[in-house]
Amino acid sequence: MEMKTRINQELRNRAPEEMTQLVIDNCRCVNGEIEGLNDTFKKLEFLSMINVELSSLARLPNLNKLRKLELSNNRISGGLEVLAEKCPNLTHLNLSGNKIKDLSALEALQNLKNLKSLDLFNCEITTLEDYRESIFELLQQITYLDGFDQEDNEAPDSGAEDDEDGDEDDEEEDEAGPPEGYEEEEEEEEDEEEDEAGSELGEGEEEVGLSYLMREEIQDEEDDDDYVEGEEEEDDDEEEEEEEEGLRGEKRKRDAEDDGEEEDD
């Protein structure tokens, strides 16, 4: 697929002036030059043209907002002065896998004052003696060469930068939240209140149970007393009746004896 056709596909009915990123890797340019890319892509910040058989940057449009440019695995050997003219704010440049052989091809990059990272993997220039020291001396504005600084510290990738931003956001959220241990203290206080309420309720229930049992016992005693008193009253009535019958019997006996004495007379 030709580069121009690929660019039209990437637009997907969007206006070129609205694009901030454009990836047209693995397509084919005509005569080693850029086609279909023009000054209307004025908001472009990231441009990737990997493995597109590019040998010249002469037709690169003005991209003043461009920060990152991926040009690896092409046929570029020089002509880098156009980058300072068309992309003055470039910070990351990847030229790995191109045909750059000596330091003179890179001298034009001195005019990219904002350039911080340069990649030259698999370029012939990397075989030069004191390669890294020479590049850092030539391009003093850069911090990272082939992913490492002068002390061999690895450059952070975009994912790591995003993670750092995420950590900062998390720290801000933690600061805005309750102090550490606050929720645990609240839970402990609530548990203590529930325990106290439960113990008070238990005591109350115990008191109610005791008083209830005491009242039951008192009632039983009163019932027993009533029952005993009733029995005693019945016993007294029976005794009185027996005594009365006995008295009546004796009276009848005396009356009979008195009648007998009178007949004798």
- pLDDT tens, residue by residue, 198-248: 544 444 444 455 555 566 665 655 555 554 444 555 556 666 666 666 666
Does a structural domain hold residue 106? yes
**Interval 97-137: pLDDT, tens:** 999 999 999 999 999 999 999 999 999 999 999 999 999 99
Higher local confidence (pLDDT), 198 or 156: 156
List all residues 6 or more positions away from 115 whose beta carbon is below 8 Å from its beta carbon.
90, 91, 92, 93, 109, 139, 141, 142
Does a structural domain hold residue 245? no
Is the separation of the CB atoms in 110 and 137 below 8 Å? no
Does a structural domain hold residue 168? no
Does a structural domain hold residue 173? no
Does a structural domain hold residue 48? yes
Residue 117 domain boundaries? 3-145
Does a structural domain hold residue 51? yes
Residue 112's nearest CA partner among 72, 150, 154, 143 is 143
Is the separation of the CB atoms in 77 and 56 below 8 Å? no
Q: How many Cβ atoms sit within 10 Å of the Cβ of residue 68? A: 17
For the full predicted model, state whether its pTM sits above 0.75.
Answer: no
Number of domains in the chain: 1
**Is the pLDDT score of 15 beyond 60?**
yes
CATH of the domain at 11: 3.80.10.10
Does a structural domain hold residue 139? yes
Does a structural domain hold residue 227? no
